[in-house]
Structure 1
């Protein structure tokens, strides 16, 4: 009887210890995951702090302009040198001062258009020649002018859609052909209407999600194949209980074979950042943006490096910028 009792006690002690050990490991794993990713301070933006600026990247240069500074809509335009970590002011954007415009780049040339001037939604577009530092008007968007739309480039074309025209959130998508200077409507996107969505590109596929419509932050997530110009629905952004990716007015970018969604707003500004693995259709939380949480920031990325900055937190307009290093451990002292 004594031997049986001792065995039972030993088993209970062993089981209890094992449970505590597994819980400890799980806690360490979660902490380790959230400690992965480091932010390093880079050169503060030389222009006036602002939010909702248009932006795009070409090689190791990031470009941004327009936006709203809390008092005025802007037209000044800037270049950020990723290697040298400095800013240069370029030729002003030639259109009406605006915020919530889009930007994208095709074959070494930048494109900026749409947005809001404080009274009206806009549909005009312009091309920026980086070598000549000059702007040229291109074909105006043929459908409802809008703001807070989504734009990206793929396969030598520009793609533009969603947003709001002031009376109605939109879900249509259009293709811009720079050689013909024409817009063509595309069909096949089955997602919700939205404004303030974001996207990133991994291995020539474009991943799109987030945004808000009718006061609801959207959870659907999609991949666009530029070769077939078709959309495929992926797992929702709240598929797992520990995911908290839904938001609007965030920054989307890619580094290597992973995509990222950072900052934004969802009943308040956010600093969280999530890493997406396209192979497994899974998300992992990384170290949050180091500094003030924000919505409507800009992001510059060359596929190997990424820089996030500007934007606003409530009525505070921001001009700082930081580089994200996803595979370094967080260091609060750098």
Structure 2
């Protein structure tokens, strides 16, 4: 057996601190990565706390209305000023009181429709003009009425699909043309049926995923090209072992060239936030929403800023609002 020399002892003694230092650095790197992203408190919603409200953004203004407050379905409608951090009540939504409606914004106008009134799924739609604070009825959705559908805007059109009609989850998609007030069915989406999905837009493309169907949380993720109106399947949301992105009834938004999915539910309400990099089709965990976990919240975003709030956690209906700063380090005092 070889004897341990003084030189060997020196190497061992110097190596021990180095090993601990490297472990420390690895831990710091991991903590920094997990803690990247910060939330700051913004003005509490002036209306009654609620969940499953419809919402859209136009410039530096966010709009939300309808929803369910635990007792009643709502028609009141509100504007949030991102720059001034205040709320203003606007003209009531003119349709039946409802929750789980959906919305999109095209050319300075917002559109809200579909949903659930406590008895039936709905298919009526309305356009909101912020400049006159007025509502106009538009063409009803021509297929089965539904709730928990998905809507987004691109290239001057609104796109609407998925959801549930009460008997069956859906996967069809439709294009709404504001100029002609008409709906046209699109074909080519190869994903699963779903309700409670999310989407966000980056550089003209729309990214869509999450949701649930028949009690199963879905892991497929898709890119929609509005130019060709075609869908491309991307890596699944559980592609990596440490991904925990799968959920329903969350919110999606973009800041700069990255997309985000936040909150929602998956066997319980969530606070987790994930950042999507379209250049590499990869996800990174960010600091979770700093507040009560929640499903069916709202999000307002102008592409540079994002605000998440309202929603519910169990039977607790919420009215708080927070702004997300994805590249700031977590500050527990905010």
TM-score by shorter chain over 0.5: yes
Partner of 2:184: 184
Distance 2:47 2:263 in 1: 21
Which ranges of structure 1 fall in alignment gaps of 5 or more residues?
A: none
Is 1:95 the counterpart of 2:63 in the alignment? no
CA spacing shift, 1:332–1:136, aligned 2, 3 Å:
same
Partner of 1:298: 298
Cα distance, 1:214 vs structure 2? 1.2
Is 1:218 the counterpart of 2:191 in the alignment? no
Cα distance, 1:8 vs structure 2? 6.4
CA shift digits 1:139-185 (9 cap, x unpaired):
10010100000000001000000000000000110000000111011
SS in 2 for 1:34: helix
RMSD (Å) for aligned C-alpha atoms = 1.7
CA spacing shift, 1:23–1:78, aligned 2, 3 Å:
same
Distance 1:154 1:297 in 2: 23
Distance 1:173 1:11 in 2: 67
Distance 1:264 1:32 in 2: 24
Distance 2:19 2:4 in 1: 23
Which ranges of structure 2 fall in alignment gaps of 5 or more residues?
A: none
Write the mapping of 1:11-30 to structure 2, written as runs, cut at 5 A.
Answer: 20-30=20-30
Cα distance, 1:25 vs structure 2? 3.0
- Range that drifts further, 3-12 or 69-78: 3-12
Partner of 2:157: 157
Would you identify which runs of 4 or more consecutive aligned residues in structure 1 move more than 4 Å? 1-22
Partner of 1:107: 107
Cα distance, 1:5 vs structure 2? 5.8
Cα distance, 1:328 vs structure 2? 1.1
CA shift digits 1:233-271 (9 cap, x unpaired):
111111111110000000100000100000000000000
Is 1:252 the counterpart of 2:252 in the alignment? yes
SS in 1 for 2:29: helix
Distance 2:13 2:162 in 1: 59
Distance 1:244 1:32 in 2: 19
Write the mapping of 1:303-322 to structure 2, written as runs, cut at 5 A.
Answer: 303-322=303-322
Is 1:80 the counterpart of 2:80 in the alignment? yes
Write the mapping of 1:1-334 to structure 2, written as runs, cut at 5 A.
Answer: 20-334=20-334
CA spacing shift, 1:324–1:93, aligned 2, 3 Å:
same
Q: TM-score, normalised by structure 1?
A: 0.96
Cα distance, 1:333 vs structure 2? 1.2
Cα distance, 1:15 vs structure 2? 7.0
SS in 2 for 1:319: coil
Aligned length: 334
Distance 1:154 1:95 in 2: 25
Distance 1:205 1:15 in 2: 51
CA shift digits 1:4-49 (9 cap, x unpaired):
7667666777777665544433322221012111111111000000
CA spacing shift, 1:20–1:128, aligned 2, 3 Å:
same
SS in 1 for 2:39: strand
SS in 2 for 1:270: coil
SS in 2 for 1:27: helix
Distance 2:96 2:323 in 1: 31
SS in 2 for 1:191: coil
CA shift digits 1:33-78 (9 cap, x unpaired):
1211111111100000000000000000000000000000000000
- Range that drifts further, 239-248 or 6-15: 6-15
